[in-house]
Structure 1
Amino acid sequence: MPSTELTRTYEVPAEPAAVLAHLVEPDNYVGLSPLLVAVRDVRREDEVTHYVAVERFRFLGLVTHDNHIRVTLRSEPGGLPEEATVHGDVVSPGGVRMSYSFAIHAHDNGSRVVDTLHLSAPFGLLRFAAGKAGEVQAARGRVLAERLAR
């Protein structure tokens, strides 16, 4: 199956522990991704969280489609108090699969986050999925910085 990897780095004006705490809560992803409109069926098992996220796509400004995706979320404290990682796996209808990670490191003004997505999709769907994922990634850094600057 065709795949691609997207990486963005952004700075967030908050300590790594605050960024980690925000990124391990499923409800915080609503709005952090412009497509994500709801989180349902949250189940926690030790250090792993499972949930269903609802992505809303609009086509031609008239037709909407709610895509229900299954998400598994894990966090790992780093070796130092000023670093941590959040990992996730997404299973979406249509054969789209994504794994992602947020590597969080202390930085002069708070944290530097390295946001990496590995995306695979059936031939013909990868370009669309990667385009949408790239848009989400571009917005995520800005939204996360705005939320945690408060």
Structure 2
Amino acid sequence: MPVDAFAHTFVVAAPPARVYAHLADPRSYVGLSPLVVAVRDVHTDGDRVSYVALERFRFWTNPIRVTMTLDPHAPALVSEVVSPGRVRLRAAVTLAPAGTGTEVTEAITVESPWVLRRYVLRQARAVQLRRAAELTRRMSASG
């Protein structure tokens, strides 16, 4: 299966600790990721958090299994996503101080069957950019 990778870096108006705390809570992804409408079955085991996120598309709801590995010292988070259709996605988020805010870099690697590749890439990139915009909005609104 083809593997594709891309990254996006942006700055939010909040310190790294606040951005990290927000991203480390699976419930924050409802609305943060534009397709995620609910999160359920959250389990924490040390530095790993697993949960099911429900993605709503136009004609169906897609349950995806997510395992998030947390590293508050870096600070960084890695989410491994297993989705129906043999789609696998890895999102690695790193945070760095940027003046009074935080530079956020999200690197995504996605593996998908050839038949879904173009659609999956388009969706993953669009979601990444919308998530960046929403995180920026949330961090400036809560400041």
Shorter chain as denominator, the TM-score bin is over 0.9
CA distance in 1, matches of 2:50, 2:25: 11
Deviation at 1:75, TM superposition (A): 1.2
The aligned residue for residue 65 of structure 1 is 60
Does the 8 Å contact 1:104/1:112 carry over to 2? yes
How many corresponding residue pairs?
Answer: 141
Within the candidate set 101, 119, 141, 2:132 is matched to: 141
Match of 1:124, SS state, is helix
TM-score, normalised relative to structure 2: 0.95
Deviation at 1:31, TM superposition (A): 0.5
Deviation at 1:10, TM superposition (A): 0.7
Deviation at 1:109, TM superposition (A): 3.6
Q: Quick check: 1:111 aligned with 2:102?
A: yes
CA distance in 2, matches of 1:141, 1:122: 26
Q: Amino acid of the residue matched to residue 91 of structure 1?
A: V
CA RMSD of aligned residues (A): 0.9
Unaligned residue ranges in structure 2 (runs of 5+): none
TM-score, normalised relative to structure 1: 0.91
Q: Amino acid of the residue matched to residue 115 of structure 1?
A: E
CA distance in 2, matches of 1:101, 1:35: 19
Identify, as 1 or 2, the structure richer in helix. Answer: 2
CA shift digits 1:61-90 (9 cap, x unpaired): xxx200000000111133xxxx51111100
1:27-38 to structure 2, matched below 5 A, reads: 27-38=27-38
CA distance in 2, matches of 1:20, 1:126: 31
Q: Amino acid of the residue matched to residue 90 of structure 1?
A: V
1:1-150 to structure 2, matched below 5 A, reads: 1-58=1-58, 64-78=59-73, 83-149=74-140, 150=142
CA distance in 2, matches of 1:44, 1:102: 19
